[in-house]
Amino acid sequence: MPVAQGTRPRPAETALSDDEVRALRADFPILADERLVYLDSGATSQKPRAVLDAERAYLEHENAAVHRGAHTLAAEATERFEDARATVAEFIGADEDEVSWTLNATAALNTVAGAIGHASAGRGGAEADRFRLRAGDEIVVTELEHHANLIPWQELAARTGATLRFVPIDDDGALRMEEAERVIGSATRIVAFSHVSNVLGGALPVAELVGLAQRVGALTVLDACQSVPHLPVDVRALGVDLAAFSGHKMLGPTGIGVLYGRRELLNALPPFLTGGSMITTVTMEAAEYLPAPQRFEAGTQPVAQAIGLAAAARYLDAVGMDRIAAHEAELGARLAEGLAAIDGVRLLGPAAGAPRVGLASFVVAGVHAHDVGQFLDDRGIAVRVGHHCAQPLHRRLGVTASTRASTALYTTRQEVDVLLEGVRDAVRFFGVAA
């Protein structure tokens, strides 16, 4: 799969040197444990001191309710909270009013699907007409989606009478683009897809999918969870209408995610969650709503987490996303080549040598992923095992579970080699040849 436009590391960008990675690792307290070989950053990343300190400093010196109250502390807290939004918006090439905080990426995707559901039930006035789904309309996803970018659309289709369709993948996990051209048609209203597969590690052809969607006037929704932490991402350059990602996978705290949307879309979508802080006027009968981003931020927000996430974005930016992408592309290639060379191991996704981020899932013939993971864990190697919230993808590839190793900017080449040795030994231990 080609790496999508605007995300490929420029040739001039060099990967991080071993010394540079060692220096970065010193910023991550948990990595001081030399026994730990953490290869599960695709599930959640570790956190640098800068993020932990930012949260603590806010809570120790500036904590107050934001966007309410008139005292000095509240004003300062509000300013910090909005500064955090501006930082994260800039990190992805958006304006600050195009970034709404959510609990996580799952919540962001559910916010979009839920808001479209509300629009389809008649909420949102004339402005929301464009979002209304009815029987005969189609929502298109891909066969490789994480459950978070599949189930909300299943539910939306069930509620509105729309039909959910999907773009199939081939045996290597690549999207069948000739099928995409067939599936995305005049009835398509929404096209939702991942930027980078959380199982396969390859990037989807975003520009082509956006082109197909725009040709028929469909909304595009991007699950950017596995790209924003690892690649330079510019949402405007990608041309998507809406995007979701989580904080905890990009060195930030848990409990915070981002919903990006083009300004005019966010302001036309009806709110999903309603309540305090997202209104202008409320009577006993009805309410009027603030524009985005507050429109989608009902109730008390995760303020310390937002500030922590901004610190994470600054940390990544200081290292340089181009360089991080180059480093992780190298690690991904090392992983893929190493795994593919082991007898009895099937590498899922792009073949060794094809572009991928620092993430590779694999299956050891005759050995369940849980057993592989247990064997590796005994050596301090942390990997993900199971279906990685992508059951239909695994079913399509003919397996129930896989083992996934995933990197971040702090991952070393040596860690990849330790994993490869561990997998070779696991193959022997479980007696695959038998």
| Residues designated as active site | 389
385 lines the binding site for another protein (CB under 8 A): yes
369 lines the binding site for another protein (CB under 8 A): yes
Residue 38 gets the label, from left (phi > 0), alpha (psi -120 to 50) or beta, of beta
Number of residues that bind another protein (CB under 8 A): 23
**Least Å from the CB of residue 370 to another protein:** 4
In this structure, are residues 131 and 268 in contact, taking their beta carbons and an 8 Å threshold?
Answer: yes
280 lines the binding site for another protein (CB under 8 A): no
Q: 325-363: buried (b, 16+ CB within 10 Å) or exposed (e) per residue?
A: bbbbbbbbbbbbbbbeebebbbbbbbebebbbbbbbbbb
In this structure, are residues 390 and 144 in contact, taking their beta carbons and an 8 Å threshold?
Answer: yes
33 lines the binding site for another protein (CB under 8 A): no
374 lines the binding site for another protein (CB under 8 A): yes
Among 112, 375, 407, 409, binds another protein (CB under 8 A): 375
- Smaller CB separation from another protein, 237 or 429: 429
434 lines the binding site for another protein (CB under 8 A): yes
Candidate segments 168-176, 210-218, 285-293, 370-378, binder of another protein by CB under 8 A: 370-378
Distances (CA, A) of 230 to 8, 44, 124, 166, 409: 11, 13, 36, 26, 8
**Least Å from the CB of residue 431 to another protein:** 7
Among 367, 383, 397, 405, binds another protein (CB under 8 A): 367
**Least Å from the CB of residue 422 to another protein:** 9
371 lines the binding site for another protein (CB under 8 A): yes
386 lines the binding site for another protein (CB under 8 A): yes
- Give residues with Cβ within 8 angstroms of 300, minimum separation 6: 65, 276, 277
397 lines the binding site for another protein (CB under 8 A): no
Query: At 214, which amino acid appears?
Result: Q
- Smaller CB separation from another protein, 53 or 378: 378
- Smaller CB separation from another protein, 336 or 397: 397
Instruction: Choose among 418, 321, 400: nearest CA to 361.
Output: 400
- Smaller CB separation from another protein, 53 or 425: 425
What are the φ and ψ backbone dihedral angles of 3, each rounded to 5 degrees?
-75, 135
Candidate segments 71-79, 267-275, 329-337, 393-401, binder of another protein by CB under 8 A: 393-401
CA quadruple 407, 411, 415, 417: dihedral sign? positive
The torsion angle over the Cα atoms of residues 245, 250, 251 and 255, rounded to 10 degrees, is 10
Output the CA angle 275-278-284, nearest 5 degrees.
50
**Least Å from the CB of residue 344 to another protein:** 13
366 lines the binding site for another protein (CB under 8 A): yes
- Smaller CB separation from another protein, 64 or 385: 385
Among 379, 382, 413, 417, binds another protein (CB under 8 A): 379
Instruction: Choose among 262, 266, 194, 176: nearest CA to 231.
Output: 194
- Give residues with Cβ within 8 angstroms of 116, minimum separation 6: 131, 133, 156, 190, 269
Query: At 393, which amino acid appears?
Result: L
Which parts of this chain interact with another protein (CB under 8 A)?
366-371, 374-375, 378-379, 385-387, 391, 394, 400-401, 425, 428-431, 434
